[in-house]
Structure 1
Amino acid sequence: MKYQHLFFDLDRTLWDFDKNSEKTLQQLFRDYSLQNTFGNFLFFKSRYEYHNKKLWLAYYQNRIEKEELSYRRFYLTLKEAGLDDIDLAKEIAQDFIDLSPLQTEIFPNTHKCLEYLKNKNYQLHIITNGFNEVQGRKLQNSKLEKYFSQIITSENAGANKPHAQIFEYALKQTGAEIEKSIMIGDDLSTDIKGARDMGMDHIYFNPKKAKHDEKLTFEIENLKELIDIF
């Protein structure tokens, strides 16, 4: 077989981050009676996602630490709606971290695909930019943990995708050779760019059929297509 080690991203590749995040935000919206501040959930969600996206970019660029990212996305959202309360923001942030990994929505055919690959004796691993205390619980609660030999996090590697350091760390931890490895992920700017810059083959998971002009090793819209590739 050409490949021996298959490296998967987690969020938005296997674990449906958008659905699970929305469920968690809905619970927080109810628990903290945020309708009194925001009026409706969609407004709260849209402003949170705006600030969250900007802060994650800052985190990737090493301009903020994860602790600041965690609470500041809620602080800025609340402040924008006229509620300047950093203690409340930190309380909500902790609840988000506690509740989010309990959600178990995964993409269609995730188990079918991983079971097939595992039975074909591929070595499966995770490479994720997510936080240590959250990602392991996501895998466990979604019953995905059993498929993977190594869980590589950006915190343990000391660098985020697409930095070469996290891929080098992953190869060292797994004993994988780059020529026999492939990266599967949904993000062109982190998963795919990082792998391509390393000279690693890659599979772009594009369920929303986003248009692009990237040259890729493979592209799929459904995880079941991995069965045809491997």
Structure 2
Amino acid sequence: MALFLDLDNTILPSQKAYLYAIENCARDWEKRGLGDNFLELYEVARNQVKAQLKHHSSNRLRLLCFKLLWEIHSSTHKNGFQTQDIQDVLWMEDRYYSHFLSYYAEEKKKENYQKSLFPLLVSLSKEFPVFLTTNETLRTQLLKIQGFLPDEFRFTLITSEEVGFEKPSNEFFQYVLRKTGEDPEDCIILGDSWEDDILGANSHGISGIHIPEMWGEGDEMNVLSVDEISAVQKDRNAKPKANHADLDMNAHPISIWRASNIISGLTFARSWFLQRQK
């Protein structure tokens, strides 16, 4: 048996941390009097990197975005990128991660983490093997985990960078299953992404718990019927990414639930494991 957990926006609030970091980088840029609109430059650079490296884990490297940002900035304010600009690229990356980790340092002090999520994660990790399965670079995820999750939490981290493929590709989930050595029918995944986490895992016979909101209200757990799953796919215009096997509900004896929040999802996952042990 194995518990697969998505990391970003499932057990840690990455989107808010990202926005906080970028907004503060914009302030750093303004304080240096560099001109231009940092947020606009960054968005242009980010879109170019993502388009160039579509489906490749490197598309998430902030350093690539900052390098391109400075190249664009240098081309309009001087005679192109120069050796001395390298220190500014590295400065920008350093400021980004400083703000990013600063956000996590404050966020993790909140009661819902200290008294609810963290104790539950630690307890589960002592009962069942936990695998953090994530579309990100290894360095970024190591920094997030070190700066946010409790020291006693036991897990195996699997990033798309080390696999070479992103969720929901066949290659990613095949690698995960080889790593666990478990029967997929005895595994369950929790994640916020319908396509990357739930459908990606389900296409390999892994049951899933969809968590649209990390801290949503209530404690409901609703099982989704085949018709409901199809409806969600249609509403979201869900299309398989490269190498993503189609979800065949008849091929795998799997189930999909939707949880109100991460606590209800994790609590249900524990019950699911205990039931299968009987």
Over alpha carbons, which structure has the higher Rg? 2
**5+ unaligned residues in a row in structure 2: which ranges?**
217-230, 234-248, 250-254, 272-278
- The answer to whether the aligner puts 1:218 opposite 2:257 as a matched pair is yes
Alignment equivalent of 1:171, drawn from 171, 177, 185: 177
Over the aligned positions, Cα root-mean-square deviation in angstroms equals 3.6
How far did 1:222 drift? Answer: 1.0
Q: What count of residue pairs does the alignment treat as equivalent?
A: 219
Q: In the alignment, what sits opposite 2:238?
A: none
Q: Percent identity?
A: 21
- In the other structure, the counterpart of 2:162 is 156
- Aligned AA for 1:222? N
| Alpha-carbon distance in 2 for matches of 1:206, 1:59 | 27
> 1:117 maps to what in 2?
124
After superposition, the C-alpha distances for 1:136-183 in whole angstroms (9 at most, x for unaligned) are 121111134532331111122121111121212222222222111111
| CA 185–59 in structure 1, closer or farther in 2 if over 3 Å, else same | farther
Q: Which runs of 5+ in 1 are unaligned?
A: none
Change over 3 Å in CA distance of 1:219–1:145 after alignment to 2: farther
Shift in Å at residue 225 of structure 1?
A: 0.8
Q: 1:35 to 1:207 in 2, by over 3 A?
A: farther
TM-score computed with the length of structure 1 as normaliser: 0.75
Deviation, 1:185, is 1.1
Letter in 1 for 2:207: D
Rounded to whole Å, the distance in 2 between the matches of 1:112 and 1:33 is 41
- Deviation of 1:91 after TM superposition, in Å, equals 3.7
Matching of residue 185 in structure 1 with residue 191 in structure 2: yes
* Alpha-carbon distance in 1 for matches of 2:52, 2:4: 25
Aligned to 1:6: 3
Residues 126 and 148 of structure 1 are in contact (CA less than 8 Å); yes or no, is this contact kept in structure 2?
no
TM-score (norm 2): 0.64
Any idea what the Cα deviations from partners look like across 1:98-154, whole Å, max 9, x if unmatched? 6534542368543143134235x1221101111111211211111345323311111
Give the match's secondary structure for 2:53. helix
Query: Are the counterparts in 2 of residues 113 and 223 from structure 1 also a CA contact under 8 Å?
Result: no
Secondary structure of the 2:136 match is coil
